[in-house]
Structure 1
Amino acid sequence: MKDEELSGRLREAAGAHRPDRARMLARIERGMAGGAQAPRSVRPPRAVRPWLRVAGATAAVCGVLAAGAFAVTSAGDDDRARGGQVASAPSPAASTPAARDELRPEDGPLWTGGVVDPHSNAYWAQSNVTLRTTEPLSALTVELRVALTGGVNSTGSWRSLPEPDFTVSVNESGGYLVYRWTLRAGRTVPAGTHTFAGQYNHAEGDRDATGDYVTAHAVRASGGKASVGDHFRRPR
Structure 2
Amino acid sequence: MNDEELSGRLREAAEAHRPDRARMLARIERGMAGGPAAGAVRPPRVVRPWLRVAGATAAVCGVLAAGAFAVTSAGDDARARGGRVASAPSATAKTPDSPAPDAPAAKTPLRPEDGPLWTGGVVDPNSNPYWAQSNVTLRTTEPLSALTVELRVAETGGVNSTGSWRSLPEPDFTVSVNESGGYLVYRWTLRPGRTVPAGTHTFAGQYNHAEGDRDATGDSVTAHAVRASGGKAAVGDRFGRAR
Same fold at TM > 0.5: yes
The more displaced of 20-29 and 110-119 is 20-29
Which ranges of structure 1 fall in alignment gaps of 5 or more residues? none
Matched, 1:30 2:1: no
CA deviation vs aligned residue, 1:59-93 (integer Å, no higher than 9, x gap) = 99999999999999999999999999999999999
TM-score, length-normalised on structure 1? 0.58
Q: 3-state DSSP class of the match of 1:161?
A: coil
Going from structure 1 to structure 2, the CA distance change for 1:22 and 1:88 (only over 3 Å counts) comes to closer
Which ranges of structure 2 fall in alignment gaps of 5 or more residues? 90-97
CA deviation vs aligned residue, 1:33-58 (integer Å, no higher than 9, x gap) = 999xx999999999999999999999
Going from structure 1 to structure 2, the CA distance change for 1:86 and 1:71 (only over 3 Å counts) comes to closer
Q: 3-state DSSP class of the match of 1:171?
A: strand
The more displaced of 150-159 and 21-30 is 21-30
CA deviation vs aligned residue, 1:183-225 (integer Å, no higher than 9, x gap) = 0000000000000000000000010001000000000000000
The more displaced of 119-128 and 74-83 is 74-83
| 8 Å Cα contact 1:93/1:99 also seen in 2 | no
Going from structure 1 to structure 2, the CA distance change for 1:2 and 1:33 (only over 3 Å counts) comes to same
Q: 3-state DSSP class of the match of 1:83?
A: coil
Partner of 1:68: 67
Q: C-alpha distance in 2, partners of 1:143/1:235?
A: 19
Going from structure 1 to structure 2, the CA distance change for 1:64 and 1:8 (only over 3 Å counts) comes to same
Offset at residue 131 of structure 1 (A): 0.1
Q: C-alpha distance in 2, partners of 1:89/1:109?
A: 63
| 8 Å Cα contact 1:159/1:195 also seen in 2 | yes
Larger-Rg structure? 2
Partner of 1:214: 221
| 8 Å Cα contact 1:151/1:201 also seen in 2 | yes
Offset at residue 102 of structure 1 (A): 1.6
Going from structure 1 to structure 2, the CA distance change for 1:58 and 1:162 (only over 3 Å counts) comes to farther
Matched-pair identity in %: 90
Partner of 2:93: none
| 8 Å Cα contact 2:215/2:242 also seen in 1 | no
Q: 3-state DSSP class of the match of 1:93?
A: coil
Q: C-alpha distance in 2, partners of 1:46/1:81?
A: 52
Q: C-alpha distance in 2, partners of 1:40/1:101?
A: 110
Q: 3-state DSSP class of the match of 1:112?
A: strand
Q: C-alpha distance in 2, partners of 1:233/1:17?
A: 145
The more displaced of 109-118 and 77-86 is 77-86
Q: 3-state DSSP class of the match of 2:101?
A: helix
Whose helix fraction is larger, Structure 1's or Structure 2's? 1
Offset at residue 101 of structure 1 (A): 2.0
Q: 3-state DSSP class of the match of 1:9?
A: helix
Going from structure 1 to structure 2, the CA distance change for 1:16 and 1:88 (only over 3 Å counts) comes to closer
CA RMSD of aligned residues (A): 11.3
Going from structure 1 to structure 2, the CA distance change for 1:227 and 1:11 (only over 3 Å counts) comes to farther
Q: 3-state DSSP class of the match of 1:100?
A: coil
